Every structure is written in structure tokens, then in C-alpha cells.
A and B are shown apart, each in its own frame.
Chain A
Amino acid sequence: RKRFEVKTLGFSSLELKNLIFFLGAVGRVAEVAGKSSVMMEIRTPKTHKAKRVLEKRAPKLVENGKKTLILHGTKTSATVSSVLMELYRLKKGGAIKYSRRNENIRPFESGGETSLEFFSLKTDCSIFVYGSHTKKRPDNLVLGRMYDHHVYDLIEVGIENFKSLLSFSYDKKIAPHEGSKPFICFTGEGFENVPELKQLKEVLTDLFRGEVVENLNLTGLDRAYICTAVSPTKVFLTHCAIKLKKSGTIVPRIELVEVGPSMDLVIRRNRLPNEGLRKEAMKSSKDKPKKKVKNVDQDDVLGKLGRVYIPEQEVGKIPLPDKSKGVKRERREGKVKKNKEEGSASKKLKESE
């Protein structure tokens, strides 16, 4: 067997093999000027389910509700891990929680976002919550949003005075159901005047909003998020259950009961989206695609015409009325009347006795 000595020249064997493969493929003939064809292949999903998933994730005019990705960094404290867990529970159905620690994610650094963007692409999540705990930034939470699976904006908050939802005691009947649409309330002039709080208000609305719905069932309103700007850098956030009490009018009287979790958010760093990106993301197409109404025509002479399709009547298979003895309405009603009379008659008899 022939053996050939090849000086490594500092290449690793993996790089060498690439070289061998490439040389074998490209080899001999002179280059054709200009075109270098890349061999491409069209891949379409082989199952209907896969096709539906792809269509669901495609960019659309009217978008789906944003999903949230919850993950943590190298080190987390007990507070941060319980905050992440409870946030996941609150957003169950529209959130994905990763349990492993991610060492190479640093949202505020230029190279540290690639992993986040990959996860966002993989799980189709547009909001992420990244928790970490360091000496410099204890109990840290980074709330971020994505546009086209690239980081759009970030805001970093510190958690203080965290009260877990397990520490609140309340009547279990009013406990909010999973996935119900919440009320979101903001109080304080800070949300209007301070740019960081303004951004936080937008991010929290996006985070808690859930799906945008057209029809709402009024009996299903059972939770509210209350955010108060206590100072220009601090926001108090709490989650309450709603009790509807009778008032004189159609509108019930609202009573809020804290069910937790509750925490103070202290603004640390933030990153606003650049203007061009913001303008593009805020763009919305005004026109709704007109839904085609089938079987309706407009005629100039007769006006609006419609077609009604009736299925073919199979005369032999029409169910005939039940003519059995006891079932007829007259008979039934007659019986009821008779019993009534008898009852009253027996009373009369009793009285006379």
C-alpha cells in the first residue's frame, strides 16, 4: 500500500481533509469566467404537519402572539431562579423555559447575542427574559425583544423585595386560570417622562399581553398586573386576581386581591432600538385582506343575489314521526292535566271529610 508523507504545516487533520476534498472536487479545468454555480436543491416539507408549522412561523400581515423565551446565565441566585420559574408559570402556553445555564450569552455585548438569536429562531420566540446574578449586578433580569430574530431592544432591571406567589395566601376559588387575558395597569408620571420607564412600560405590555383577540369572554377575566412607578428608577410590579362583585349596574365592582408574585424592578442599563429599525418594526399595513364571501353576487337590476345550496333529499330515508302510544304531545299534556285535577280533587275530598 502506498503511503505518502504530507507535511502538516500547522494544519489539523480536519482542515487537511477539507483541502483534499476540495482539491478533488475543483481540480483541473480552467475557470469559466464569471459564473460559479452553487448547487442548490429545493426542499419542501414532506408532511402536512411540518407544512403547517412552517406557515405558522412565516411573516404574516396579522401576527401571532409573541412567545417568550426564559433562560438564565452562568450563575443565578434563589431569587432569580424563582422569578424565572414564576414568570414561566404566569405565561404558560406562550413561553419556553430553558433550564441549562448559558455561559456565552451576554445581551449587552456585541458578540454575546448570537446564541440568543439562534434560540429565538429555533423556538420562534420574540421576547426573552434572561436572568443572572453577579457581584456587580445582583438579581439581574434582562428583558429583550427581537425583530426578525435579531435583537431589537433591551432593558436590564434588578429585582428587589421579591415575594413569591407561594407566600401569598388567598381563597383558591379566585385563583386566575392559565392563559387568561390580563388587565395591565400603569400608574405614575415616570412612565411618561422618563425614557427608560417608557421603554419598560412598552416591554411589560408586550410581555404580559398575550394574544390579541377580537372576542373576549367576560367571565374569563381574572387577573391583573399592576405596575407603579415609585421613583424615576424604580417600579413596583404585582400580580392580582380579580373579584367581580355585584353593583347596581351592568358593570360589576372590581376588587383586586394580591396573589403574587410581587417585586421591585430597579432600572439598570437599557438599549433602545435605532430609529430606522424602529420605524420598520412599527410599520403596519392598514388594509385588511377582504374576505371573499362565497355565493353572493351583485346584480345591477336585481341587487344583491345569493345562492343557497340544499343537499339532495333522500325521500326513502326521512325519519318519520314517532307515533307510538305514549309519546304524542296531546296524550302527555292530557296526563299532566289529569294528575293536576286529581290532586286538587283529592284535596277537596280531604277537606270535605
Chain B
Amino acid sequence: DMDMETDQIYQIDVGNLLAFNPNHRFSSAPSSREELVKECVTEGTKLVQAIADTLFNLPSTETNDGPLVQLPPPTTKLPREKHLPRPKPPTKWEEFALKKGIQKRKKDKIVYDETTDKFKRRHGYDRVNDDNDIPIIEAKASDEPGEDPFAKRLDDKKKRVGKQEKNRLENLKTAAKAGALPSHVQLAVTGLPISGTKTQPKKIGKEALGDVAGLAATSTASGGKFDKKLPGEKPPKKQGKHHKYLPVVPRYGWVDEEKEQTNKVLGKLLSKHSHEILNVGKAINMYNDKKEKKKSGRSDKLKAKKDITKKKPYANKAN
């Protein structure tokens, strides 16, 4: 059908359900928008029909949902969204094995254990050559007298494991350099680059950073009030007690809040039920504590604050 007209060969890509007609020319000036739209849709229909012609003639298999066809791979090349996976550089062991000609050998899950004459698993519960199962270690001439051989074994294992972890990290770093880090692994920097001693600087937390910033701020000449702040930096927390003082002279038309505050307290004290409000036991304890403190002459600031509500053993002693 479509091949009969001279210029009407469409470029069809069945894999993408895509069709392109490079040869359609519009009759010079489409009269109205509707005419134009109609013409576009008709041309589109012809293209879809052309794709469907090829599509429905593909071998199909019947399934419960309908006829399933196997689409050919798409022919239009489109750019990838990510790079091709890069080959992993060989690890240090792999290089060594290649050089020495060492072949990989598959290990069995079940191994014969000579000490118990049984077949035990290689890893896991009740395994072959478990470190914890050794009852006796014979002393050698090279051993020092005070040394615990069991602890030494554990220590050696820790060192081996640590060395292996270090090697693994190095291998991953070379892989990351080549851009071939495995997808599930991320290398995270935990501290600043150190030159000199090998001590790792502890990563400082958000609150600690804020405290240090506050310290630095108060040590300035103006107490940190006019310091230029970075975008996103919060204003400094007010140190010391937080008092809210109500205005003595009330605003015109507003309730005298200060008067109300004092009246409230007085009201509670002088009311009929004032004995229920006052916790006599607590008041006695507080009084006694104050007395004790005065006696000992210690200052609150140096010692940790004690919880006054907790009853002390000497609380009800008559002084």
C-alpha cells in the first residue's frame, strides 16, 4: 500500500513503535487550525497503520492477557543515561596470583575433621578447626613464661583481620580511582587529612560545634553580637537564666499583667484551700537542704546539681 506511491516510504522502527514520514508536504496554506489538525491526525493514522502492519504479522504467542509478540530490538540509537560499567582493576592478591600462576580452588562445605573423625562444616556452628575448641596448647621453648597463649591466638587473629580490612580498603580505593567501585559500596571520608601523627581526629558533633562557636563568639570584644554570620548559621543561644519581665506600666486598654501575676500568687496563698496547695513535706525538705548547704559552705557551681525532689535519708531528722 504505502510503497506504491512514489515518495511515501516511511522509516519505521518497530522496536520503539516509532515511524517517521520525511516526505509529507502540506498543501501550501492550511485553511484553518482544524484543517491542519485533521491533516496531521490523518497522516499520523497512516504511520500507525504502517507500524501495526508489521507488528501484527510478527509471530505471536497466546497468553491469558492477549497475544504476545516478541519485538525486534530498536534501531534508532539513543544516548545512554549512564556510562558503560568499567572493568574492575585487579586486586593485589589477584595480581600476585596471576604472577605466580596460582589457580582458584573451590572449597567444600563439608570437611573431614581428624580430631573427631567426623565430617564437619567449614564455617558456622560446630566447625572444623574452631579456635574456641582447643583445650590444650603445648608450650614451646620459644614462649615467654608469663604469656597467655590463648590470648595470644585471639590477638593474632585480630591483627590478621585488621590487616585484611586495610587491604580491602586499599583495593576499594584503587577501584574507586578507576571508576569501578561496586554499586553497593560507598567510601566515606571520616576525618580531615592528617599529616604527622596517626591519631584520628574525632568527628565533632553538631551540638559540640555550636558550643565551640558560642565560645569563640563570646571571646570577641563585643561578645559575638555583631559577628558576620554564614548563611544558615543560627543566632547564638542565650546563656544563663531566661527571665521574662512583664511591663510595670500596662499598655492603654490592656490588662495589668504584672498586677495579675502577683494577685494570682497572693490569691493562692490566702485562699481557703491554701493548705492543700502547699506541700508541707517538700517545703520542710527544701528548708533543711538550704540549711545544710549553708553549713557546709560548698558552692553549687562546682558540684553537680542534685535533684531536690528526691527524698534524702536524713530528710526528716529534727535539726
Contact = CB atoms under 8 A, between A and B. Distances in A.
Interface in B84-130: 84-85
B68 A215 contact: yes
Contacts of B173: 40
A21 interface: yes
Interface stretch (B154-162, B190-198, B309-317): B190-198
Interface stretch (A77-85, A91-99, A110-118, A216-224): A216-224
Interface residues of B, number: 89
Given A16-B216, A187-B40, A218-B67, A252 B52 contact: yes
Contacts of A238: 37, 40-41, 44
Contact of A37 (B20, B41, B194): B194
Contacts of A255: 45
A43 B19 contact: no
B45 A254 contact: yes
Interface stretch (B75-83, B243-251, B258-266, B289-297): B75-83
A17 B85 contact: no
A209 B16 contact: yes
A55 B183 CA distance: 6
A36 B37 contact: no
Contact of A55 (B45, B79, B184): B184
A80 B74 CA distance: 32
A148 B24 contact: no
B134 interface: no
A190 to B, nearest CB: 9
Contacts of B18: 183-186, 205, 209
Given A66-B81, A218-B67, A238-B40, A40 B188 contact: yes
B83 A280 contact: yes
Contacts of A147: 79-83
Interface of A is mostly: mixed
B269 interface: no
B32 interface: no
B51 A183 contact: yes
Interface residues of A, number: 104
Interface in B214-237: 214, 216-221, 224, 227-230, 233, 236
B132 interface: no
Nearest to A212: B74
Contacts of A345: none
B204 interface: yes
B286 interface: no
Nearest to A236: B40
Nearest to B30: A230
Given A26-B196, A38-B189, A40-B173, A254 B57 contact: no
Interface of B: 15-26, 33, 36-37, 40-41, 43-45, 47-49, 51-53, 55-57, 60, 63, 65-71, 74, 76-85, 168-169, 172-173, 183-198, 200-201, 204, 209, 212-214, 216-221, 224, 227-230, 233, 236
Interface of A: 3-8, 10, 12-17, 20-22, 24-32, 35-45, 51, 54-55, 57-61, 63, 66, 126, 145-148, 152, 161, 181-189, 191-192, 201-202, 205-206, 209, 212-221, 224, 226, 228, 230, 236, 238, 240, 242, 250-256, 258, 262, 273, 278, 280-285
Given A192-B22, A212-B15, 7 more contacts: A4-B219, A8-B220, A13-B227, A37-B193, A40-B173, A183-B51, A221-B52
What 5 A-B pairs have minimum CB-CB distances, sorted nearest first? A58-B183, A226-B44, A219-B66, A25-B201, A126-B81
17 contacts: A5-B220, A7-B220, A25-B192, A43-B188, A55-B183, A59-B85, A126-B81, A183-B18, A185-B48, A186-B18, A187-B20, A187-B44, A209-B16, A214-B71, A226-B44, A252-B52, A262-B37
